Amino acid sequence: MKIGIVCYPTYGGSGVVATELGLGLARKGHEVHFITYRRPVRLSVFSPNVFYHEVDGEDYPLFEFPPYDTALASKIVDVVQYQNLDLLHVHYAIPHATVAYMAKKILLTKGRYIPVVTTLHGTDITLVGNNRAFSPVVEFSINKSDGVTAVSQNLKEETMRTFHIERDIQVIYNFIDFHRFKKTNKEHFKKIIAPDGERILVHMSNFRKVKRVEDAILIFQKVHAQIPSRLLMIGDGPERQNAEQLSRALGLGDEIRFLGKQDAVEELLAICDLFLMPSETESFGLAALEAMACEIPVISSNGGGLPEVNIHGVTGFLSDPGNVDEMAAYAIQLLENEEMLQQFRANALEQAKRFDLDTILPDYERYYETVIARSVNKVE
Ligand code: GMT
């Protein structure tokens, strides 16, 4: 198949999923065309059947808000026509599903029907999409897609609750590439971070409010009071400054390391003992899955789709969002009991295997085929 992928190219989970999916499809022989405003972060290696089309907007003095949507629609029309795509897969409803609809209508005037699959990732429904500023357009665009997928059962249900959806939504879970994410020996590196064998906790996110980054610091404060430990903070975003200030105010400036955005996160995860994801909500929690693939148990909230990924008492523990005391107590329980920790490590890996790229990718291929077959002879 010839597939166009539209996504946000930055460090967000939806861009990561879109890029890894495209690369996986390319490895299986499909031709993949990424259409976005910047080369996606994980699209760093050359592959003969992967193409990248940069959306070039015009910055004109009249535009207080440069019309990216218009430039993206034009680029989609161009790529679909001249690369002869079979299907367009857009990640994150806003504005991609809407822009895809516009491109589809333009292509119809040229006698070309392009089927569009929209994947809902989470905040496009739960935080931004349900805002009245966007909701009528988001609802319309979901209903007008030829196929819609959600990254968890919870997100599907949330979408059905939030909008008037007239079509089926297929749950296709996020996935993990075990060629990349696996536990490796990085003892030399561990010695630098934790020279006296301290436990290493880790939080990784885009530091948005929804991640409750300060809760990660407060959990660590309680753990550190009882267990020699360090905390790695991976990622960057609007809440980083507050989190750094809180760390210093608590006297933990040296014990908590802010590493910023990192590409080789699997090398950092290789030295960690426990992953913290105290988010207000997560449609899925891809970062938790990446940690689990590296055999790290997860202390998380129970918001959104997290219980579909992190199994309470098996791969980690779940608490209500904001219940820092309970999360810290679970973390201490696990870190103090080596046998239990080892068992949870093994369980985390087993659970992660359910989301192996090699298992999930064929689900997408089958779904594409169904959508393409349904779209034959469609003229509207
Ligand atoms: O987590 C974010 O704020 C970024 C966002 C995105 O779209 O880039 O992540 C969402 O999509 C990820 C990939 O499907 C999910 O694993 C995350 O759980 C989801 N984030 C939220 O629901 C908050």
Residue nearest to atom 9 of ligand 1 (CA): 13
181 Cα–ligand 1 center, Å: 19
pLDDT of 16-43, one tens digit each?
999 999 999 999 999 999 999 998 877 8
Phi, psi at 208, each rounded to 5°: -90, 165
- Longest Cα–Cα distance of the chain, Å, equals 68
* 12 CA closest ligand 1 atom index: 8
* 3-state DSSP assignment of residue 144: helix
More confident residue, 376 or 278: 278
63 Cα–ligand 1 center, Å: 30
pLDDT of residue 11: 64
Give the Cβ contact number of residue 32 at 10 Å: 26
Cα torsion at 312, 317, 322, 324 (round to 10°)? 150
* 174 CA closest ligand 1 atom index: 14
The β-bridge partners of 91 are: 119
Residue 131 has pLDDT above 90, yes or no: no
Q: What is the mean pLDDT of residues 224-243?
A: 97
Q: What is the mean pLDDT of residues 9-14?
A: 82
* 3-state DSSP assignment of residue 57: coil
* 281 CA closest ligand 1 atom index: 23
Q: What is the mean pLDDT of residues 129-142?
A: 88
Residue 129 has pLDDT above 80, yes or no: no
Name the residue among 224, 181, 171 with its Cα closest to residue 204.
181
Q: What is the mean pLDDT of residues 219-239?
A: 97
Residue 178 has pLDDT above 80, yes or no: yes
- Concatenated DSSP letters of 252-281: -TTTEEEEES-S-HHHHHTT-SEEEE--S-
19 Cα–ligand 1 center, Å: 14
More confident residue, 108 or 128: 108
Q: What is the mean pLDDT of residues 233-245?
A: 97
Q: Is 165 exposed, middle or buried (0-12, 13-18, 19+ CB in 10 A)?
A: middle
Name the residue among 363, 211, 376, 200 with its Cα closest to residue 291.
200
* 289 CA closest ligand 1 atom index: 16
User: Which long-range CB contacts under 8 A does 260-263 form with residues at least 24 apart?
Assistant: 260/234, 260/235, 260/236, 261/11, 261/234, 261/235, 261/236, 262/234, 262/235, 263/41, 263/44
* 211 CA closest ligand 1 atom index: 23
pLDDT of 63-108, one tens digit each?
888 899 999 999 999 999 999 999 999 999 999 999 999 999 999 9
Which CATH fold would you assign to the domain 2-175+357-375? Rossmann fold (3.40.50)
Confidence at 379, pLDDT banded by 50, 70, 90: confident
Find out whether 25 and 364 touch, Cβ atoms under 8 Å.
yes
Q: What is the mean pLDDT of residues 328-341?
A: 98
Confidence at 291, pLDDT banded by 50, 70, 90: very high
Strands 256-260 and 229-234: parallel
State the Cα–Cα distance between residues 270 and 188, nearest whole angstrom: 11
Cβ partners under 8 Å of residue 265, min gap 6: 204, 234, 290
The β-bridge partners of 267 are: none
Put residue 377 in one of left, alpha, beta given phi > 0 → left and psi -120 to 50 → alpha.
Answer: left
Q: What is the mean pLDDT of residues 3-27?
A: 92
What are the C-alpha distances in Å from 28 to residues 31, 58, 68, 112?
9, 36, 32, 26
Q: What is the mean pLDDT of residues 296-322?
A: 98
Q: What is the mean pLDDT of residues 224-231?
A: 98
Name the residue among 353, 338, 331, 304 with its Cα closest to residue 159.
304
pLDDT of 182-205, one tens digit each?
888 888 888 999 999 999 999 999
> Any idea which architecture 187-353 has in CATH?
3-Layer(aba) Sandwich (3.40)
pLDDT of residue 326: 98
2-175+357-375 against 187-353: fold identical: yes
State the Cα–Cα distance between residues 206 and 278, nearest whole angstrom: 13
87 Cα–ligand 1 center, Å: 24
**At how many degrees (to 10) do helices 240-249 and 213-226 cross?**
30
109 Cα–ligand 1 center, Å: 35
Q: What share of the chain has pLDDT > 90, as a percent?
A: 84
304 Cα–ligand 1 center, Å: 11
What is the side-by-side strand order in the sheet with 147-150? 50-54, 31-36, 2-6, 87-91, 116-120, 147-150, 170-171
More confident residue, 142 or 377: 142
What are the C-alpha distances in Å from 337 to residues 233, 280, 332?
24, 28, 9
Residues with CB under 6 A from ligand 1: 12-15, 17, 92, 121-123, 151, 174, 206, 208, 210, 281-286, 304
Length of the chain (residues): 380
Mutate to test the pocket of ligand 1, among 36, 119, 121, 234 (most ligand atoms within 8 A of CB): 121
Domain ranges of the chain: 2-175+357-375, 187-353
287 Cα–ligand 1 center, Å: 9
Mutate to test the pocket of ligand 1, among 91, 283, 357 (most ligand atoms within 8 A of CB): 283
The β-bridge partners of 122 are: none
pLDDT of residue 62: 84
pLDDT of residue 187: 83
pLDDT of residue 259: 96
Q: What is the mean pLDDT of residues 347-358?
A: 98
107 Cα–ligand 1 center, Å: 31
Confidence at 367, pLDDT banded by 50, 70, 90: very high
Q: What is the mean pLDDT of residues 327-337?
A: 98
Q: What is the mean pLDDT of residues 214-225?
A: 98
